[in-house]
Structure 1
Amino acid sequence: MSKYKRPSQAEIVKQLTDRELILNVYFSQLLFLVIATVLVFFFFDSVSDFMALWDFNVREVLLYAVVPAVIVVLINIILIKVMPKRSYDDGGINERLFKSLSIPHILFITLVIAFAEEVLFRGVIHTFAGFIVASLLFALIHFRYLNKMVLLISVLFLSFLIGYMYELTNNLLVPFVAHFLIDFLLGIYYRFFMR
């Protein structure tokens, strides 16, 4: 019997350089986009049917994306301040990632993440497999949170909230904007205010 102990994600992340960590994020998002693109061609009758999911409705975006995103960010910041660090620590990934990036890079990477994940999970999976399946799968891709109860509850809540935004509006721009704002604002918080 082998006594080999599999390294934790935190130990693996510590071995990565900042550049390797960023490249891993971009690679995972590229993979999501490739999967989403294949599924769009498989599930939708045409690309224009998929594009019809995007509606530039300012009222919907403000009411169902911007306001909830700001509330989610404020709740997360309060939790970060009042909870012990170990309860929301994801192995140092978010802190390391965002502390190494400039503001324009945080803007760009959070746009890429929100776009790739919302196209796949809301645009394709939610549209064809439903709200619950898409929300659970979205939460599961954040597997580094599975052994941290506060983070797990947070990502499950956020996943269902964003899915519900899409369910209410049937407008892919809404979950995309909400996801982007949450990631971007928390990225800025990590960059400048994490202790």
Structure 2
Amino acid sequence: MKQSEIIQQLSDRELKKSLYFSQLLILIIAIIFSFILFDNISDWFSYLKWDIQDIVLFGVLPGFIIVIIDFILMKIVPEKHYDDGGINKRVFESMNKREILLFAILVAVAEELLFRGVIQTTFGYIFASIVFAIIHVRYLKKPILMISIVITSFLIGYLFLITENLLVTITAHFIIDFILGVYIQKNKGTTKSGVAKIILKRGEG
């Protein structure tokens, strides 16, 4: 059975539980591997730097630029080329703005801690970016979606490469997910199903 069919069979409550569980699992994996791979756990926290200039220049601005590109693609690219089967639409239409906010924060924190904070710092930029893109397997039959997630993955990885600051990538990740999630929620019944292609399925494994 396809993932989209499974999603459609779940109630809103079951769907939310599934999404939160998947992200909490990612967070737990990140924490466990940080203890296994790092000699000193304090080294891991050294990547959480409250540098406002870096956060704004390399987190906030890139996040908004990616969102703008998404909206442009939504206007010029035929829906069939980036339709994810209605999964993102189903997910975010079932949430209110507060739930989208909390979910976007959880996704951004959990996935950036794992993919950038653990995998990239241990195995390198290219490997982490490729793995992050690979987990979006449901986009393989949608070239535009797949290219988009690969580019986004490498971009966020590069932001971490040049800043070594997880708060930068968490900020960019959050902005993308939250804005596109709210857009879908506000346009129930009219939003094209592929608009939130970057959301981090992030939250759907």
TM-score category of the 2 structures, normalised to the smaller one: over 0.9
Question: What does the per-residue CA deviation read over 1:36-67, in whole Å, with 9 as the maximum and x for residues that have no partner?
Answer: 11111011222221111100100001111111
Q: CA RMSD in A?
A: 1.1
Q: Contact 1:13 / 1:91 at 8 angstroms: preserved in 2?
A: no
Largest Rg, 1 or 2:
1
Q: Give the partner amino acid of 2:21.
A: F
Question: What does the per-residue CA deviation read over 1:141-168, in whole Å, with 9 as the maximum and x for residues that have no partner?
Answer: 1221111111101100100000000001
Q: From 146, 154, 163, give the equivalent of 1:152.
A: 146
Give the distance between the partners of 2:109 and 2:13, measured in 1 at CA.
Answer: 22
Give the distance between the partners of 1:16 and 1:52, measured in 2 at CA.
Answer: 40
Q: From 115, 140, 143, give the equivalent of 2:134.
A: 140
Q: From 121, 126, 137, give the equivalent of 2:115.
A: 121
Give the distance between the partners of 1:99 and 1:54, measured in 2 at CA.
Answer: 32
Q: Please give the secondary structure, in 2, of the residue aligned with 1:21.
A: helix
Give the equivalent residue in structure 2 for 1:12. Answer: 6
How high is the TM-score relative to the length of structure 2? 0.89
Residue identity (%): 48
Give the distance between the partners of 2:31 and 2:99, measured in 1 at CA.
Answer: 25
Give the distance between the partners of 1:109 and 1:183, measured in 2 at CA.
Answer: 9
Give the equivalent residue in structure 2 for 1:177. Answer: 171
Q: Please give the secondary structure, in 1, of the residue aligned with 2:49.
A: coil
Give the distance between the partners of 1:159 and 1:17, measured in 2 at CA.
Answer: 31
Does 2:102 correspond to 1:108?
Answer: yes
Give the equivalent residue in structure 1 for 2:157. Answer: 163
Q: Please give the secondary structure, in 2, of the residue aligned with 1:147.
A: coil
Question: What does the per-residue CA deviation read over 1:72-126, in whole Å, with 9 as the maximum and x for residues that have no partner?
Answer: 0011011112222222221211111111111111000000001100000000000
Question: What does the per-residue CA deviation read over 1:4-47, in whole Å, with 9 as the maximum and x for residues that have no partner?
Answer: xxx22222222122222222211111111111111110112222
Unmatched segments (≥5 aa) in structure 1? 1-6
* Alignment: residue pair count: 189
Unmatched segments (≥5 aa) in structure 2? 193-205
Q: Contact 1:9 / 1:91 at 8 angstroms: preserved in 2?
A: no
How high is the TM-score relative to the length of structure 1? 0.93
